[in-house]
Amino acid sequence: MPARAKYGALVLTLPLLVLIPGVVSAQSGVQVVPNEAAHRVDVTVDGKPFTSYIWPTTLKKPVLYPIRTATGTLVTRGYPLEPRKGERVDHPHHVGLWFNHGDVNGLDFWNNSDAIPADRKDKMGTIVHQKIVDAKSGAGQGELTVESEWHKPDGSTLLRERTRFVFRADGTSRSIDRITTLTALGERVVFNDNKEGVIGMRVTRALEQPATQPDVFTDASGKASATKVLDNTGVTGQYTSSEGLTGDAVWGTRGRWTMLTGTVESEAITLVMLDHPSNPGFPTYWHARGYGLFAANPMGEKVFTDGKKELNVTIEPGKSIEFRHRILILSGQVAADAVERQYRAFTGS
């Protein structure tokens, strides 16, 4: 990868993602380029990679992978597609940024991967990309609309999904809107209360929170290697929620947004996930784990409240529900009040 300049730590207090009108050349602006033969749509900013929408046969759902900052720094984990030295080797279904759930009419869409043993495959659901509906490029914004189907183990379709991605960029920030509409087809569909859901992102090792428990990591050759002493060198992540909670205290609590801050390759980075008031179960619960899983799940109340509450979301045949989220990928240290302003801009509040 070509050498790239690094932005120093910034405290962002002004509105982000301001678009400046200008002439868009073939390599400028946000380019959204389908390559159906390769099972991918590449998103670039001024000719440099931002992310890709991919649906390889090795995955059980389409994902955005990898995701980069404005300077090109990777914020998503490479394993299992492209293992890097020092990464955890766990949860092979955690790839890039995805959307699914752990119990839909009794089927597990969240945990499905090629690692699932044969005797469990009849309990797993698969999300299968169907078509690219539209792809648009622009000066400061690009869009991608796709359709997928949520399949039962026998290949029949439980849900139809239409998702619109909006990709925005400026000199120090990137953002992704994911607007997902799910339509039930021939039967009632129930998203049963389950902690595994719904929009998730697996981050690079440097954005994990420091820990002490030994685990299995990739070695210099990319192979899995058990370690007895956990090396936290360069591991700098910390969660902060809209309610002021930090670190491990964020897990299982509700909030309008949560941010994950840290330093990757000397670049201060802030990742933010915003929940929209129109979403079922708003404000969402945060399935934010120190080992690098950053997820928002409104339909996990039973676990997150120790059984005090429960939320099962039903879609009747022919009816739909919509989920709307925004992901911010920011260069710099971002103050909570600046994130709150971004949240208000997202929600129009």
Domain segments of the chain as ranges? 41-347
Lowest mean pLDDT among 14-23, 107-116, 316-325: 14-23
pLDDT score, position 225: 62
Phi, psi of 304 (to 5 degrees): -70, -20
State the Cα–Cα distance between residues 233 and 210, nearest whole angstrom. Answer: 9
Q: Regarding predicted confidence, which is higher, 170 or 229?
A: 170
| pLDDT band at residue 228 using 50, 70 and 90 as cut-offs | low
| pLDDT band at residue 215 using 50, 70 and 90 as cut-offs | confident
| pLDDT band at residue 24 using 50, 70 and 90 as cut-offs | very low
pLDDT score, position 14: 36
pLDDT score of 20 more than 80: no
pLDDT score of 191 more than 50: yes
pLDDT score, position 221: 58
State the Cα–Cα distance between residues 330 and 312, nearest whole angstrom. Answer: 34
State the Cα–Cα distance between residues 168 and 249, nearest whole angstrom. Answer: 31
Q: Regarding predicted confidence, which is higher, 22 or 72?
A: 72
CB 187 within 8 A of CB 315: no
Closest listed residue to residue 269, CA positions, set 234, 235, 233, 237: 237
